[in-house]
Amino acid sequence: MSQNTSKNPWLWVPPLYLTESIPYVIIITVSVIMYKSLGISNSDIGLYTSFLYLPWVIKPIWSPILELFGNKKQWYLSMQLILAAVFLGVGLTTGLNQFFTVTLAFFWMGAFASATNDIASDGMYLLALKPDQQSFFVGLRSTFYRVGMITGQGLIVIVAGNLETSLGDPTKAWSWTMIIVAGLMLVLTLINWITTPNIKEERITKEEQPSFGKVFATFFNKKNIGLSLAFVLLYRLGESQLVKMASPFFLDERAEGGLGLSVTDVGYLYGTLGVISLLIGGILGGVVISRDGLGKWMMPMAIAINAPNLGYVFLSWNQPESFINPAIVVIIEQLGYGFGFAAYMVFLIYLAEGLFKTAHYALATGFMAMGMMFPGMVSGYIQEWLGYPGFFVWVVIATIPSFLMAYLAKYPKEFGKKSES
């Protein structure tokens, strides 16, 4: 049973999911831009920032702890305070000689806190809202998660770029930027403390709780599980490498094969134009799958998520000076990614069907993060070996397994189609 759940979800769902997305995008995406601005090599950026995906890969391992101790509100408020301290730590240590190692350690702590915050926030959503409310507010939840991405990839990066220009020192600029992020996290934590309901959670006894081994075994005993996991790991093989090197490509000087854009330009490209296109693509993808089912759209969506990577081949070979060219490429790529990612997410929902749906979805999303982590770790080394033109050709070649998996994957063709009733 729940207690004091009468607080209006319109008040607490938006800030809760804003606070879920901002730390993720800062740790996974904005860190790439920061390290590039501070002179870290592409190989180190690709390796170490991709390794930050690991907590999201393995979060199913400690998720049962949140069911046994404390409550969801205590957990996510604690994690959000830790995240504020983490970003403050990053801001205060960017000027050190060993800043790369020290700030990575802070980001590493932040990644575990953010992954735990995700578990607790999603738990609050499921516990505080009735099933019909969960369906109704899923759009609001997703929208504010995207707003958090725009805030991180757009506004925060633009702030950093403007500070670089005004201060003339990237180190000081990123130090102040991360201190500002810490302050933002503190304000959001306070808002969540005030707005989210206090609920009394029913405890699962040890006798009632299934063993982790049983949950694990039932997941890996699913029909065609090997083929399904191959799909999860390989569907974004090209994109997982592109996403790590796209910002360095835009920021690198033209003499080094890049486009020589400013940090502010990149913030505008990915954080505004890119995220808006991503959101539109995702909505369209959800609409057509709901209308026709996954089977009709799987291959078109595989094309949509991969074909726009050819735009980066064009940019790297021609190095156009006009800002319009990268803007068009990013808009098309993110629109295609949002559209094609809808098929991926619906397939993950299908993979989680059956007993232990919540735990199996967590396992599926762990493999999803793994599919981004390992290719991303080697992307910088491949780019430095091949140069940007060769690297983006390689990214296009790496999309072949995506098409193969989209063709071979087994699932009900009508899955995801809205019921006529």
**Closest Cα to residue 141, out of 14, 307, 229, 249?**
14
22 with 188: CB under 8 angstroms? yes
Structural domains for the chain: 7-200 (1.20.1250.20), 212-411 (1.20.1250.20)
Q: What is residue 238's predicted lDDT score, i.e. its pLDDT? A: 94
15 with 192: CB under 8 angstroms? yes
C-alpha distance from residue 113 to each of 83, 315, 381 (Å)? 7, 37, 29
Q: Token pair of 377, please? A: 């770790």
SS3 196: coil
Distance between CA atoms of 87 and 96, rounded to whole angstroms? 15
Q: What is residue 76's predicted lDDT score, i.e. its pLDDT? A: 92
Q: What is residue 414's predicted lDDT score, i.e. its pLDDT? A: 86
SS3 155: helix
Residues of the chain with pLDDT under 70: 1-6, 67-68, 126, 131-140, 142-143, 201-212, 355-356, 358, 419-421
126 torsion bin: left (phi>0), alpha (psi -120 to 50), beta (else): alpha
Q: What is residue 300's predicted lDDT score, i.e. its pLDDT? A: 96
Q: What is residue 68's predicted lDDT score, i.e. its pLDDT? A: 67
Distance between CA atoms of 7 and 13, rounded to whole angstroms? 10
User: What Rg value do the Cα atoms of the chain yield, rounded?
Assistant: 21
Residue with token string 């539109």:
280
Q: What is residue 214's predicted lDDT score, i.e. its pLDDT? A: 75
Distance between CA atoms of 191 and 357, rounded to whole angstroms? 31
100 with 151: CB under 8 angstroms? no
Distance between CA atoms of 411 and 219, rounded to whole angstroms? 16
Q: What is residue 137's predicted lDDT score, i.e. its pLDDT? A: 62
Distance between CA atoms of 344 and 132, rounded to whole angstroms? 24
